[in-house]
Amino acid sequence: MNTTLCDLQILSSEEWEVMESVHAAKIQPWVDAFRERRKRGLKHPVHDFLFEYYQCKRKLLTDWHPAPGMVLKGESAMRFLKDDSFSRNEEGVFLDPGKIDDTLESRISWITQLIDSARIRRTSFHCYGLHEWAMVYKSNCIRHQDTPLRLSTEEIERVIEAQTLRCTHYDAFRFFTDSAKPRNTLQPKPDDRGQNEQFGCVHFNMDLFKWCYKLSPWISSELTLECFFLAVEARELDMRASPYDLNAFGYEPIPIETADGRIAYQSGQKEIANKGRSLAARFLEECRMVLNMRILA
């Protein structure tokens, strides 16, 4: 590892094991709750999304790992060497930038370009969370079949037809019904992400979690966890503004079919966008540090 000692954060086993314990205490209850629901055949229309749609291996979320630039001392650090991304020297165990191959470098570069593009794009707060409505518009197939709708199909149709669909996120748009897709002002495609993604979109903010685990272990566990909890917050807003009745799960609806509901949705949307921008800045900082470390390796 061709870095100077001043570039490194050398942690005793006591120091990094505390970090590991804090991480486990924050995330393990969420994973345990999901596993218990699956065991009992129960569904949670809000929280299950974070584990089922984002098909992250749960060990990537539950198992703490050091950030690039950290060196772990102690015999217990040897277990990290099971991952080929780590190496060992006289100081301890560390993520070895020499292990970054061209494929990983390209992935990091693509994701940073996507997020950088979103950061300079004008933020839009006028979608009103209608994507979930567009996914059931004029369809007999309801995505969350175990969760009742709070409005009739006729009322849902009236809401859609009274508003303008402005979804910018391909991974939401692709689930629109065939009747809803032509009503959207954009027709997003997979290759258009760099031209469409923006921080007003709750799903784009949720995806920060995805980009963290896609680059694991090169993104810190601390940032990955913060992005996970932002995704939880965004998903809660997402579903509260949906046409589903979530009262049984403790969520009051945000009635975006009303003017007051749309104002309330925008308020939550702006709060998530601000948090997402902050986490995205840290994500880009970590990515650029990793790329610079590879150059120096």
Residue 151 lies in a domain: no
67 secondary structure, DSSP code: P
Please state, in angstroms and rounded to a whole number, the distance separating the CA atoms of residues 197 and 204. Answer: 7
- pTM score of the predicted model: 0.94
Q: Does residue 46 lie in a domain region? A: yes
181 secondary structure, DSSP code: G
pLDDT at 132: 95
Instruction: Work out the end-to-end distance of the chain between its first and last CA atoms, rounded to an integer number of angstroms.
Output: 6
Q: Is residue 246 part of a domain?
A: yes
Burial class (CB in 10 A: 0-12, 13-18, 19+), 53: middle
Q: Are 249 and 44 in contact (CB under 8 A)?
A: yes
Q: In terms of residue numbers, what domain contains 85?
A: 5-127+189-296
| Residue 111 falls inside a structural domain | yes
In whole angstroms, give the CA distance from residue 23 to residue 161.
46
Strand residues in the chain grouped as ranges (E): 9-11, 70-72, 86-88, 93-95
Amino acid at 105: E
253 assigned to some structural domain: yes
Digit-coded pLDDT (tens) for 122-175: 999 999 999 999 999 998 776 667 789 999 999 999 999 999 999 999 999 999
35-87 pLDDT per residue, tens: 999 999 999 999 999 999 988 888 999 999 999 999 999 999 999 999 999 99
CA atoms within 13 Å, Cβ hemisphere of 221: 20
- Residue 184's DSSP bridge partners are 165
What is the amino acid identity at position 241?
Answer: A
In a domain, 136, yes or no: no
Contact 181, 192 (CB under 8 A): no
Is 43 inside any structural domain?
A: yes
How many Cβ atoms sit within 10 Å of the Cβ of residue 113?
A: 11
DSSP 7: G
Confirm whether 248 is domain-assigned: yes
Distance CA(277)–CA(205), nearest Å, equals 8
Q: What is the rounded (10 degree) CA torsion for 164, 169, 171, 172?
A: -30
Q: Which whole number is the average pLDDT over 174-178?
A: 95
Number of folded domains that form the chain: 1
